[in-house]
Amino acid sequence: MKLLQYIFIIALIALTSCSKNDNSDHNNDVDDDQEQKTFYAGMDLSFQSELENYNIDYKDAEGNSIELLDFVKSKGTNLVRLKLWHSPQNGENGLEDIKAYAQRVKSKNMNFLLNFHYSDYWADPGTQTPPSAWQNLSLTDLKVAVYNYTKNVIGQLKSQHTLPDIIQIGNEIDNGFLWDYGKVWNAFDGNWVNYTSLVSEAIRAVREMDTENEIKIMLHHSNVENSIYFFYNLQTFNLDFDIIGLSYYPQFQTKDLNLVASKLNNLANRFNKDILMVEVAYPFTLEWNDNLTNYIGSTNQTILEFAPTPQGQKAYMEWLITTIRNIPNDKGIGFCYWPQTGSLLTATKVQPPTVHLGRINAYSIST
Q: What are phi and psi of 164, to 5 degrees?
A: -65, 150
Axis crossing angle, helix 139-159 with helix 192-209, rounded to the nearest 10 = 30
208 is catalytic: no
The rounded distance, in Å, linking the Cα atoms of 194 and 131 is 17
Query: Sign of the C-alpha dihedral, residues 118, 121, 127, 132?
Result: negative
Assign 185 to helix, strand or coil. Answer: coil
Run of H or E including 280: strand 274-280
The rounded distance, in Å, linking the Cα atoms of 355 and 65 is 9
Among candidate residues 50, 172, 225, 287, the one labeled active-site is 172
172 is catalytic: yes
Among candidate residues 96, 279, 305, 318, the one labeled active-site is 279
End-to-end CA distance of the chain: 34
What is the DSSP code string of 303-364? Answer: -TTS-SSHHHHHHHHHHHHHHHHTSGGG-EEEEEE-PPTTTS----TTS-SEEETTTTT---
Active site residues: 172, 279
